[in-house]
Amino acid sequence: MFQKMTAILFSLFFLASTISFSTFAADNSSVDASIAFPADSTTLVDKNDDDGMQYSLKPTAGFSDIQMIDSKTAIIEKDSKYGLYDRNGTKIIAPVYDAIYEIGGNLLNVTKDGKQGIVDKEGNVILPLIYDGISYFFDGLAAVRNNRKCGFVDQKGTVVIPLVYDDASCFSEGYAAVENDGKFGYIDQNGNEVIPFLYDDAYDFIDGLAMVQTDEKYGFVDYYGNIIIPIIYDGFYRNEDSSYFCNGYDIAVKDGKCGLIDIKGTVIIPFLYEDLWFSSKDSICVILNEKSFLIDWNGNKLLPDIYDHIEPFSEEIAVYIKDNKYGYIDKSGKEITPPIFEHASDFSNGKAVVKKDGKYGIIDQNGNNWIPFIYDEITRITGDDRYISVKQKNKWGVIDQNGKFLIPTIYDTLYLVSDELFQVSNNGKAGIVALDGTIRIPLDYDGIDVYFIEFEAIMVEKDGNCGYFDQNGKEIIPVIYSNINGALSDSYLAIEKCGKWGIIKNPLMKNNIQVEINGIELSLYNKPVIENGRTLVPMRAIFEVLGATVKWNEETKTITATKGTTTIIMQIGNAVMTKNGEQIILDVPPKLNDSTTMVPVRAIAESFGATVEWNGDTRTVEVVLN
């Protein structure tokens, strides 16, 4: 349903208000004498207290928290202050700051006494603690605020755009919205005004367009300030990724009514409706006078306005509601089932879950019963309906598509966690059960978190401690730690044991790939992947650390990155990259991996003058910026 657009300019001030950091006397002395570290802090210890883990730093008194930020470096907390140590316990920055967090590449934001600055992971001061706020780095620049004025610094700490603006957003696609004297405009990365200060508010560029506001009305401009969508609308619908214009169209609101426009501003569906949403590729559902009906892209009525609500079509069939009952219709308006159900799901693989007379069953697209109406609840847990979870007498089990029980209805809760494994619980205790009913992990644990997609690992909690098992029930990390900090993709994990913090080598990451820039591990939200001998990494992460500005064209799936006089252009699935107009054949083209754009790190880094080596012993891509 429509929610009126209330987008807020991403200013850097949220950082200043939510995170505080320390003054800047970075202490680079090697070891904190008040903390006892292992005698040989450079060698992994094979065992500690017979728990079988490889320790980089044994559990040590004095720390109240450790957070690994890469394979070599950790933020530590001591006496409510924060510092930086390597994984062996060697001090890089003494714990004197009120907070520390990463802001891009090798850089950390530090705060003390309400002032912020920047250090690198070696402890060098990049920007002194004199600022009221510092944003993350985008397109190689970070917004800074001091004495109520904003400007921008680069990753070397140089003020490249003076602090002369009343407000500033982060750079996006090479441009930033800035405010002067109550009006917003846009500047480029050299500080040049590219769009004049005309607007009451201005927002980030996304796919070449930025939303602007004047007199509480909204529209869109392009990079040159041309008004592409007139500034006459109350608001626009947003996609799940916060962008606008899905496949070149967006739902807009004008004078309280909904309509449809294209990316050029042409009105496709007039502004007549109380609500509007896409029902299928060739139909749109609208609400008028509190009744739902379908129209085509020319506004012609396809179905009569007799329904209280119509859901989007799925497999050419839509759920409708009439007089508080659910039924199904096809695109011609033909009734598949009358409105007789108390609940009805979308069709998937020719089947739908429905509720009738207080009991659940499953019907086919002809309305015939497939699973009888005998269950208190039904959840379809696989797309092909090989397994279906059912509830009877307040207990859950699993049946196959013929109604045969695979797991009896004996569990309080039941969730599918992998192809044939289920997380179950009884009487507040959780475990893992296989499809054949065998128990892989006993129902002895207070909580379970499952990470199967990439890691095939199961985290369990018991009596205040946690650890990890594999999918066969084999213990990977013993259940002896009160805390385990870090993502499973990290090479090292921070652990707390008996009130003491330490660092262990992550046994789940024997084959993990790392990327280092000038010896510092690149922090990545998505794991690197190797294809045909080439390493691919998330697009934004590598371009950011290289200091390049990146633009993404959603329509053509094209990436354009610029640094200095070098511009490279790549396209998803295309093995031809251009560098300043010269074509270069890639061994592996860019690809989309779970909605993340992955790009070949070697080709990109070398295009911008870096050298790249592969360390097979540590499975590390080593990039050196020249």
pLDDT tens, position by position, 388-404: 999 999 999 999 888 89
> What pLDDT was estimated at residue 28?
36
Q: Over the range 237-251, which residues count as b (16 or more CB within 10 Å of their CB) and which as e?
A: beeeeeebbeeebbb
> What pLDDT was estimated at residue 578?
94
Q: DSSP string spanning 277-329?
A: EEEETTEEEEEETTEEEEE-TTS-B-S-S-BSEEPPPBTTEEEEEETTEEEEE
What mean pLDDT is predicted for residues 184-195?
96
CA neighbor of 174 nearest in space, from 187, 155, 158? 187
Please give the torsion angle defined by the CA atoms of residues 564, 565, 570 and 576, in that order, rounded to the nearest 10 degrees: -150
| Distance from C-alpha of 232 to C-alpha of 73, rounded to nearest angstrom | 51
pLDDT for residue 24 is more than 70: no
Token pair in block for residue 439: 């128990």
Q: Provide the percentage of residues in the chain whose pLDDT is more than 70.
A: 89
* Strand, coil or helix: 602: helix
**In this structure, is the dihedral angle defined by the CA atoms of residues 418, 420, 424 and 430, taken in order, positive or negative?**
negative
Q: Residue 544 in contact with residue 103, Cβ under 8 Å?
A: no
pLDDT for residue 581 is more than 70: yes
| Distance from C-alpha of 362 to C-alpha of 394, rounded to nearest angstrom | 19
What mean pLDDT is predicted for residues 593-602?
84
Q: Over the range 268-289, which residues count as b (16 or more CB within 10 Å of their CB) and which as e?
A: ebebebeebbbbeeebbbbbbe
pLDDT for residue 180 is more than 80: yes
Query: Which pairing describes strands 620-624 and 514-517: parallel, antiparallel, or unpaired?
Result: parallel
195 or 563, which is more confident: 195
What mean pLDDT is predicted for residues 89-110?
92
CA neighbor of 174 nearest in space, from 150, 210, 148, 218? 210
Q: Provide the percentage of residues in the chain whose pLDDT is more than 90.
A: 56
Token pair in block for residue 321: 């509601």
What mean pLDDT is predicted for residues 343-371?
93
Give the start-end residues of each E strand in 439-491: 439-445, 447-451, 457-462, 465-470, 475-481, 483-485
> What pLDDT was estimated at residue 383?
67
Q: Over the range 22-47, which residues count as b (16 or more CB within 10 Å of their CB) and which as e?
A: bbbebeeeeebeebebbeebeebbee
Token pair in block for residue 186: 């846009």
pLDDT for residue 17 is more than 60: no
Model confidence band, residue 41 (pLDDT cutoffs 50, 70, 90) = very low
Unique residue bearing structure tokens 């916060």 = 242
> What pLDDT was estimated at residue 511?
60
CA 38 from chain centre, in angstroms, equals 38
> What pLDDT was estimated at residue 10?
31
Hey, what CATH topology would domain 514-624 get? Copper Amine Oxidase; Chain A, domain 1 (3.30.457)
pLDDT for residue 480 is more than 80: yes
* Strand, coil or helix: 545: helix
> What pLDDT was estimated at residue 87?
87
| Distance from C-alpha of 559 to C-alpha of 81, rounded to nearest angstrom | 42
Residues of the chain with CATH 3.30.457.10: 514-624
Question: Which region among 94-103, 289-298, 402-411, 588-597 has the lowest average model confidence (pLDDT)?
Answer: 588-597
pLDDT digits (tens, 9 = 90+) for 232-277: 999 998 877 677 888 889 999 999 999 999 999 999 999 999 999 8
| Distance from C-alpha of 530 to C-alpha of 195, rounded to nearest angstrom | 42
> What pLDDT was estimated at residue 20?
28
Model confidence band, residue 467 (pLDDT cutoffs 50, 70, 90) = very high
Average pLDDT score over the chain: 85
DSSP for residue 339: E
What mean pLDDT is predicted for residues 29-54?
40
pLDDT digits (tens, 9 = 90+) for 505-544: 888 776 667 788 887 777 666 778 888 888 888 888 788 7
Q: Over the range 522-561, which residues count as b (16 or more CB within 10 Å of their CB) and which as e?
A: bbbebbbeeeeebbbbbbbbbbbbbbbbbbbeeeeeebbb
* Strand, coil or helix: 574: coil
| Distance from C-alpha of 322 to C-alpha of 81, rounded to nearest angstrom | 61
70 or 97, which is more confident: 97
CA neighbor of 112 nearest in space, from 94, 127, 126, 130? 130
pLDDT for residue 327 is more than 70: yes
Rounded to whole angstroms, the maximal C-alpha distance in the chain is 81
